[in-house]
Amino acid sequence: MSASPKHIVIIGGGVYGAKFAEHIISQAASIPVQFTVDLIEKRDKFVYLPTALRNCVVDVTGDCVKSYDNLFSGPDRPGKGQLIRGVAVRIDEDQRVVLLENGAKIPYDVLIIATGQKWDTPLAPRNENVAEYFSSVRANVAKSKKIIILGAGSVGCELACEIKDRYGKEKRVILVQKDRLPMSAHYSERFRAKLAHIMDQLGVETKFGYKGVANTDGTVSLFKDGEPAELVQADLVYESSRYNPNSSFVPEQWINAKTGAIKVLDTFEVEAATTPVFAVGDVNSFPEVKLALHINGNTLPVLTDNVKSVLQGKQVDKIYKTKLDAIALMLGYSKATGVIKTGTFGDIVLPGWLVKRMKGQDMGGSKVDLVLGIA
């Protein structure tokens, strides 16, 4: 009599969760253990976040929003996986189940947490109907004359430039950053200064050296050196400065109390878990700048091999190391920049033409099917 299939449960259908689901299912023939995959996700469609930034301004839904159905179709993956629409609210390790908001209990033998972080920008849909959500975001941007973005990280910078590149002088876009340059000190001053120059060329107004606090009446309070400096009225305010891991549903002992991230080993195993649980992407505590490009480089092979080991009752032994510390920014349709951190040779600032070739003027939209393995 054959053994019952093992249950792999993935919480979160972003790029990490969806790509792992596709990858492990496509390798089923080479794994000597029967298994199924349940992907838990509240949204009705997959959203590729790098391209979704542009979708907040211009309708490129076809490039960044895809059906999950393709993940579980094809001759190499029949009957191996399914999408479960729902929201995880608790993990019960004693019973080895994920409890959903609707009361359902999803059993697991191996659990992957890939829930990313909660965005205060319009980047990630807050409701289940993805197309409807982005349509409302674009409408809000279109009718707003003065838009303030709090935080000049990669998301804030790209969003500001997308709006200015599309609307030009028709709209004021003000980017507020506590530091004196965009991005963080993780990157060289040369790269950060170049980015600031490009934004200035596009007409993005910058308030560097200020902390911005959004008020409920639509105003933003600006503080300089901890002291009140200015009260600014805005039609639309987005925050992109806070790192806010989506980890509220996991046991408290799994979480770094300071950051909210799930504490993991260099195998992606959750430190405090007593059952086979892994956490990947923005939700985990691994000390690196999290980028979608990492998943194919090293994250996916390490996670896949370690999950295979669990399925076969073997010791987990594959170790994750960041292979590439780099970032590429599309700043509207016309501008771009990026940087590669080499350690030995310092930061190498990338020319715009190279970034456009790497990322594509569509911000990676044409590569989404390849990312998901459904091309």
Domains of the chain (ranges, CATH numbers): 6-121+243-311 (3.50.50.60), 130-242+324-372 (3.50.50.60)
pLDDT for 1 equals 41
State residue 372's pLDDT score: 67
Q: To 5 degrees, how large is the angle CA 92–CA 94–CA 97?
A: 40
What CA–CA distance (Å, rounded) separates 275 from 309?
Answer: 14
Structure tokens at 36: 């199924």
CA-to-CA separations, 233 to 99, 214, 216, 219, 290, in angstroms, rounded: 43, 10, 11, 4, 33
Amino acid identity of 287? P
Count the Cβ atoms, other than its own, within 10 Å of residue 110.
22
β partners of residue 335? 331
Report the candidate in 309, 259, 252 with the shortest Cα–Cα distance to residue 286: 259
Beta carbons within 8 Å of 16's beta carbon, 6+ residues apart: 114, 116, 280, 281, 295, 299
* Whole-number Å distance between alpha carbons of 241 and 176: 9
Tokens describing residue 169: 């002088």
Q: What is the pTM of this model?
A: 0.90
pLDDT of res. 127: 65
Answer yes or no: are the C-beta atoms of 311 and 33 closer than 8 Å.
yes
Per-residue pLDDT of the chain (375 residues; tens, 9 = 90+): 457 899 999 999 998 999 899 889 888 888 899 999 999 999 888 888 888 889 999 999 888 888 887 777 766 655 688 999 999 999 999 999 999 999 999 999 999 999 998 876 677 676 668 888 899 999 999 999 999 999 999 999 999 999 999 999 999 999 999 999 999 988 999 999 999 999 999 999 999 999 999 999 989 999 999 999 999 999 999 988 767 899 999 999 999 999 999 999 999 999 999 999 999 999 999 877 666 655 666 788 999 999 999 999 999 999 998 767 888 899 999 899 999 888 777 889 999 999 888 777 677 766 677 666 655
